[in-house]
Amino acid sequence: MWRTQWNIANAVTAARILMVPFVAWALLVDGGDSAPWRWVATVLFVVAAATDKVDGHLARSRDLVTDLGKLLDPIADKALIGTALVGLSLLGELWWWVTIIILVRELGITAMRLLVMDRFVLAASRGGKLKTVLQSVALSILLLPRGVLPELVHTAGYAVMGLAVVVTLVTGLDYAVRTLRNPVVREGHA
């Protein structure tokens, strides 16, 4: 079974997961004050985030979609985004309430998907994909070293993060409503 599940798309996803601790380490070196390490953290984050599109394209274009990939891809996404959010909050550069809202929404939707997965698939919406892009763009900006670039850059990052939080909440509510309105869930069919 493992051999049939393992392919180039899943290898790219696994590489994204393996990059997560390096993003965290580079971000937190010297209390986040090392400009060179912040650049490293930013580059690693951007490369890892970009692999999400790469692995998805490989899986779909080469008919390599597997159950393993369906499991690993959201884990990789949430690990990468969550690590950057928590790291920035630990450094005092991102409000904890932002991190908590995003992580609670992500974990809640994941739990909901797991609860209903034997009855129907709660597919990602366009809004959900937009949410991921906004979070990734905001975090890419906020990971950049402070004091090296104009403060306007970080202000733009906070503005994008604000938009990401709004889209995160709206899409979370949309997923919950779609799930509750699904006749399979409402009628309790297994």
Exposed, middle or buried by CB within 10 Å (0-12, 13-18, 19+), for 181? exposed
Q: With H, G, I as helix, E, B as strand and everything else as coil, classify residue 135.
A: helix
Q: What is the CB neighbour count within 10 angstroms for residue 132?
A: 21
CA 27 → CA 79, 96, 145, 151, 172, distances in Å? 15, 17, 9, 19, 28
pLDDT in tens, 52-87: 888 777 777 877 777 777 777 888 889 999 999 999
* Amino acid present at 62: R
Question: Using 50, 70 and 90 to split pLDDT, how confident is the model at 188?
Answer: low
Rounded to a whole number of angstroms, the CA Rg of the chain reads 18
Is residue 5's pLDDT more than 90? no
